[in-house]
Amino acid sequence: MTSRLLEFIDLQYKYPGGREPVLSGLSLWIPEGKKCVLLGRNGCGKSTLFLHGNGIIEPQQGQVLWKGKPLVYKRAALQEMTQKVGLVFQDPEHQLIASTVAEDISYGLFNQKLPVDVIREKVERVLDAFGLRELAEAPIHHLSLGQKRRLALAGVMVMEPELLLLDEPTAYLDRYQTKNLLRELDAIHRQGTTVLMATHDMDIAFEWAEWICIMDKGRLVFAGDPQEALENRAMLESLHLGMPLLVDVWEALPEQWKRELGGNIPRSVDELRKMLSVQRVW
């Protein structure tokens, strides 16, 4: 049975001065070891939920559980949570605090009071893993947005979190950068980290995720695997999420081809290409 790594139970949250609650009875859980996507339109509360995920925001009502145990809202326990649950903000400017790349990556490790040689070794590893070696001494304000985003992810991954929360990581990335990021996330996932990405992009969700959660108006409206989400076409369209492009392509294929291909919508263009070449339909 899949275990629940992080679980939100009946969360309610209204920002001070806000008219409506942003989260109104939201319950969802993140299955351990899966690549998960959180979908929902602008302003439905995805970022607010993420801020509950590692204890930055304390629920006004409801509970957050980590491996079945309620979060403890005390300094030491929260510091531990920010190590276990890495949060990458949508805007890297909200995340980067030190003056150079290497300093920024090491910041959390110094907070953990690790020995200097251990810190140095971890920073070196992450500089290589994220292709930041040549920028190690660069001032942060010299970096491009794409480099800042890469650095924000590196600064979180150096803490070796068990769960990685990414808030719209593909916003403002071109197709090439998006593909690279998804490849990086696959590598992170293969090394044992559970990943949850907030996005509006159905194509990414369908191609990449193993588990999809959909929020609307501060509540969960769907949780399940991507194929199951596609069976709820009316729901996806009513939430203005639309269908992945591959579904439209699939639907345009002749009925006989679809039958010969086994009736399952391919998850990526590569998969479609493979199916078509195996079946020799073109």
Ligand X SMILES: Nc1ncnc2c1ncn2[C@@H]1O[C@H](COP(=O)(O)OP(=O)(O)OP(=O)(O)O)[C@@H](O)[C@H]1O
CB of 16 to ligand X, least distance (A): 7
Q: Which is nearer to ligand X, 171 or 272 (CB)?
A: 171
CB of 104 to ligand X, least distance (A): 24
Pick from 1, 18, 176, 262: which binds ligand X (CB under 6 A)? 18
Q: How many residues bind ligand X (CB under 6 A)?
A: 11
> Where does this chain touch ligand X (CB under 6 A) — which range of 15-23, 205-213, 221-229, 264-272?
15-23
Q: Which is nearer to ligand X, 218 or 226 (CB)?
A: 218
Q: Which is nearer to ligand X, 43 or 139 (CB)?
A: 43
Q: Which amino acid makes up residue 127?
A: L
Separation between Cα atoms, residue 94 and residue 88, nearest integer Å: 9
Q: Which is nearer to ligand X, 120 or 217 (CB)?
A: 217
Q: Which is nearer to ligand X, 48 or 194 (CB)?
A: 48
| CA distance to 40, 90, 91, 152, 172, per residue, from 149 (Å) | 22, 9, 8, 5, 10
CB of 214 to ligand X, least distance (A): 11
CB of 89 to ligand X, least distance (A): 10
CB of 40 to ligand X, least distance (A): 5
What angle (nearest 5°) sits at the alpha carbon of residue 175, between those of residues 88 and 272?
Answer: 110
Q: Which of residues 39-78 bind ligand X (CB under 6 A)?
A: 40, 42-48
Q: Which of residues 20-39 bind ligand X (CB under 6 A)?
A: 22
Q: Which is nearer to ligand X, 46 or 189 (CB)?
A: 46
CB of 149 to ligand X, least distance (A): 15
Q: Which is nearer to ligand X, 24 or 180 (CB)?
A: 24
What angle (nearest 5°) sits at the alpha carbon of residue 226, between those of residues 220 and 230?
Answer: 85
CB-CB contact of 200 with 39 (8 Å): yes
CB of 85 to ligand X, least distance (A): 17
Q: Is 15 in the site for ligand X (CB under 6 A)?
A: yes
Q: Which of residues 119-178 bind ligand X (CB under 6 A)?
A: none
CB-CB contact of 267 with 206 (8 Å): yes
Q: Give the residue among 245, 54, 77 at the shortest CA–CA distance from 162.
A: 54
**In the complex, which residues of this chain contact ligand X (CB under 6 A)?**
15, 18, 22, 40, 42-48
